[in-house]
Amino acid sequence: MSDRRPVLSALAALAVLLTACGGPPDDGAPESPAPDGGPADGTETTTSSPEEVSLEADQVTGGLEHPWDVGFLPDGGVLVTERPGRLRLVRDGDVTEVDADFSDVLVRGEGGLMGLVVHPDFPDTREFTTCQTHRRDGEAVDVRLVTWRLSDDGRAARRVRDLLTGLPVNDSGRHSGCRPTFAADGALLVGTGDSASDPTIPQDRTSLGGKILRIDPDTGRGLPDNPFADADDPDTRRVYSYGHRNVQGVAVRPGTGQVYASGHGPTGFDEVNRIVAGGNYGWDPSRGGTTDSYDEDVPMTDLDRFPQAVPPLWTSGATSTEAPSGAAFVSGGGWGALDGTLAVVALRGQKMLLFRLDDAGDDVTEVLLPPEFDDEFGRLRAVRRAPDDALWVTTSGGADDMLFRVTPRPA
């Protein structure tokens, strides 16, 4: 059923905030925002909007458990993954569980059934791909991408292929982030976590952890125009960027092909990054291979160790925790002043942040905080833009989680 929650919000002057996850980002009480976040140059961001932007947040359904991602079907249906290993189909307000075999999913800590993306050729193939932690005989094996085929009636899904295996996994499930998104050119982009196990993983281009991958959605292979396409190692050929900690959101800017990502920092320093092909984003908990422990006291973007590392567009600062998750661009004329902003939802911060970018996409010029998603619904996990330009948002409290459809309110 639908529960409409209209809200009129002046997107007021605001400097935002916050940071990361010292300890598992899905645990711990939310912290109060502190006004020390801003662009990576350290200047304070204040935002003011001369317009009042009226939004409607329609609750599509409740009763979910850690809904991790959503994918849109051509007939208007919406697939929703739940971390405990369930797939739901939402259509016309009705919610049904899709019959699919997720018995091999390792549900532990931050791991489980996570990201989801519907293939562009779905009308012909009925295929979609999920990210999931994989177990064998009860033991953690890896994080993997699995491609499924949805039945004509939407009631069942059959496993077609394991598209990509071997993403590192932690026995505890920590840093299992895995978010797939299709680029405009048909490439499948996948943001991954570093698993917080082997500290060399983020800087190791032969590992799939702590990366943005760019792969063929049919074969899982790296694409021939990838930055390391000439490497001998097949996993290196899949790497688009590296030196990440725990990527949670990947979004493609409409009309440009530019790729942006949101990620969890250690104690502080959550980031929003513009992704550059071949770029190193500077996370190295091994301190250059000098320690076997996962050292979280190193900088999130270590420009001393890696002078050529790509600095973040935005960082939350040193003293507060945001734990940003999903990311999607707001797009369409109906959004008015918000058209073109990057929406990032936060777990521990329990809010949606809207980042206004300059025309080149190289700088954050404003950070907006819509009051209707500021501690109103608790922890927020996914945000995706639907074909009709609405934003769909999920909560992630673990009990009676909700799915929302967010649109601009008609004038």
pLDDT tens digits along 129-152 = 999 999 999 999 999 999 999 999
pLDDT given for residue 1 in this prediction: 43
Residue 43 has pLDDT above 60, yes or no: no
pLDDT given for residue 410 in this prediction: 72
Identity at 176, one-letter amino acid code: S
When pLDDT is averaged across residues 296-322 and rounded to a whole number, the result is 93
pLDDT band at residue 39, thresholds of 50, 70 and 90?
low
**Closest by Cα among 209, 115, 212, 214 to 168:** 209
Residue 7 has pLDDT above 80, yes or no: no
DSSP 109: T
pLDDT given for residue 385 in this prediction: 98
Residue 158 has pLDDT above 70, yes or no: yes
pLDDT given for residue 324 in this prediction: 96
- Please report which helix (H) or strand (E) contains residue 3, including its range: strand 3-10
Residue 224 has pLDDT above 50, yes or no: yes
Across 200-304, where does the E strand assignment appear?
A: 212-215, 239-241, 247-252, 259-263, 271-275
Identify the weakest region by mean pLDDT among 221-230, 298-307, 371-380. Answer: 371-380
User: Percent of the chain scored above 70 by pLDDT?
Assistant: 87
pLDDT given for residue 218 in this prediction: 98
Residue 247 has pLDDT above 90, yes or no: yes
- Please report which helix (H) or strand (E) contains residue 314, including its range: strand 314-315
Residue 405 has pLDDT above 60, yes or no: yes
3 state DSSP class of 238: helix
Residue 18 has pLDDT above 80, yes or no: no
Residue 4 has pLDDT above 60, yes or no: no
pLDDT given for residue 42 in this prediction: 42
Tell if the pTM clears 0.95, that is, is over it: no
pLDDT given for residue 374 in this prediction: 86
> How many angstroms separate the CA atoms of 68 and 154, rounded?
19
When pLDDT is averaged across residues 329-357 and rounded to a whole number, the result is 94
pLDDT band at residue 53, thresholds of 50, 70 and 90?
low
| Beta pairing, strands 127-136 & 139-150 | antiparallel
pLDDT band at residue 28, thresholds of 50, 70 and 90?
very low
Angle at 385 between CA 381 and CA 386, to 5 degrees: 120
Which sequence spans correspond to the domains of the chain? 7-400
User: Percent of the chain scored above 90 by pLDDT?
Assistant: 80
- Please report which helix (H) or strand (E) contains residue 125, including its range: helix 122-125
> How many angstroms separate the CA atoms of 48 and 58, rounded?
26
DSSP 372: G
Residue 24 has pLDDT above 60, yes or no: no
* Average per-residue pLDDT for the chain: 88
The four Cα atoms 119, 385, 28, 39 give a dihedral, to 10 degrees, of 110
When pLDDT is averaged across residues 77-90 and rounded to a whole number, the result is 98
pLDDT given for residue 333 in this prediction: 83
- Out of 1.20.120.10, 3.40.50.880, 2.120.10.30, 2.60.120.1440, the CATH code matching 7-400 is 2.120.10.30
When pLDDT is averaged across residues 291-318 and rounded to a whole number, the result is 95
3 state DSSP class of 408: strand
